[in-house]
Structures are given as structure tokens and as C-alpha cells.
Amino acid sequence: MATSKLQAVNTLLSIVGEAPVNSLTPPLTGDTALADRTIDEISTEVQSEGWSWNKRIYKQIPLDANGHSTLSSATLGVRFNPISYPSQRFVLRGTKLYDRVTSDYDLRDSLGVAMTGGTSDIIAEVVEELAWDSVPETGRRYIIIRAGRIFANRLVTSSSIESYTAEDEQNALKILKRTEDMAENNNFISGPDDMYGGRVVTTFGPDILNR
């Protein structure tokens, strides 16, 4: 059975000898509030690395009336295929794409970008933060253990607690990475099967140096 957010919070509380709580209904106070915030903080940190379960391929980045990209507020990162975009001209600032060549958020005049209505032909892999219930169990396990180590260090100074959870954290990370490798079918030559929408993109257009 997948670990609920309540179980995760109670796991952190148990590490420092606190009694479990029955609900996470606001307002949360004291150590319970700190445990909940720590789990959210570490969940964002872990998910920002980008895993098979929180990445999606955008084959057309939507733009608003000002030509600005309209990505989800849950966007944590954007990656571009270095073969298709060798100059890496587009970067993420906040939740918008920024053209480093034109020094502008307006992508309508960016060289190498074609427009179709309100969408561009920019292809990107977007990392998005998922709610706790959408994170797979291996991810939850690693988040809990890492959050538990940080939570304990914030409340108490116990080397025995720190060393125990540090070992658990490494084991949980190994399991998470092993399941990730299986999910993405990684290979050291060309990367995962679904990398940027395909294993390797080798079709170069006349605008390749402008991308």
C-alpha cells in the first residue's frame, strides 16, 4: 500500500520521539507543521531533478498574446535536446521561457521558431511537480527518508539518528534510481527511449545554428 502524506508526517514525528497525529487538517502547529513543511520542501527538491514519472514532452509550447510561454505553475525545469538546440538559447526563468539571444520573453520573433496560431514549434521536456498522491512509492520512500534526516537535524543533534537515516537515504536513492533506469530503458549511447520525444534527433534544418 502506498504511503499517505499523514503516514509520512507521522514517520518524521516518530524519528524525534513525538506522538503521531490523526489528521493533517489545517491549521497545523509545532513539530507537526514543521514535519509537513519539510516533506513538501524535500518533495520539491527531489522532483526538481526530473524523473520518468514527473516529466512530459511538449511538442508545441503554447504562447500567450504577448508571445510569452504559458507553462504550468508546477513547472520545475525545462530541458532541450542539445542536438536540436545546440546553442541552448532558451532557458527557464520562473515559469516562462527566456530567449538569451534576443534577451526577451517574447518568443514570436526568435529565429528558428515557427508559429501555428497560439503555439510554437519549440519541443521541450518539462519537469513538473506532482502532488504527493501522484508520486510513486519509491519516490515517496526516498522523500520521507531524506526529509526525516533533515527534520531530525533541525530539531535535535543526535549523531545516531543522522547516521542511521543517512544510510537509509542512500539505500532508498539506489532503489529509486534502479526503478528509474527500468522505466526509461536507459542506454549509455543514446539515453532513454523517450528522451525529448525520441531516442535521438538527427534531422538538421537550415536554422540549426540559430536555435
pLDDT tens digits for 142-172?
A: 999 999 988 988 887 655 555 556 777 888 8
pLDDT of 184 above 70? no
CA distances (Å), origin 125, targets 54, 64, 73, 171, 209 = 10, 19, 15, 28, 20
What lies within 8 Å, CB to CB, of 207 at 6+ separation is: 111, 112
pLDDT of 202 above 50? no
Tally of CB atoms within 10 A around 93: 9
Report which of residues 91 and 164 the model is more confident about. Answer: 91
Start-to-end CA span in the chain (Å): 46
- Average pLDDT of the chain is 83
Task: Read off the pLDDT band of 113 (50, 70, 90).
Answer: confident
Average pLDDT over residues 41-50: 94
DSSP letters spanning 160-205:
HHHHHHHHHHHHHHHHHHHHHHHHHT--TTT--TTGGGSS------
Report which of residues 122 and 166 the model is more confident about. Answer: 122
Average pLDDT over residues 186-190: 52
Report which of residues 166 and 50 the model is more confident about. Answer: 50
The pLDDT > 70 percentage for the chain reads 82
pLDDT, position 110: 80
pLDDT of 211 above 60? no
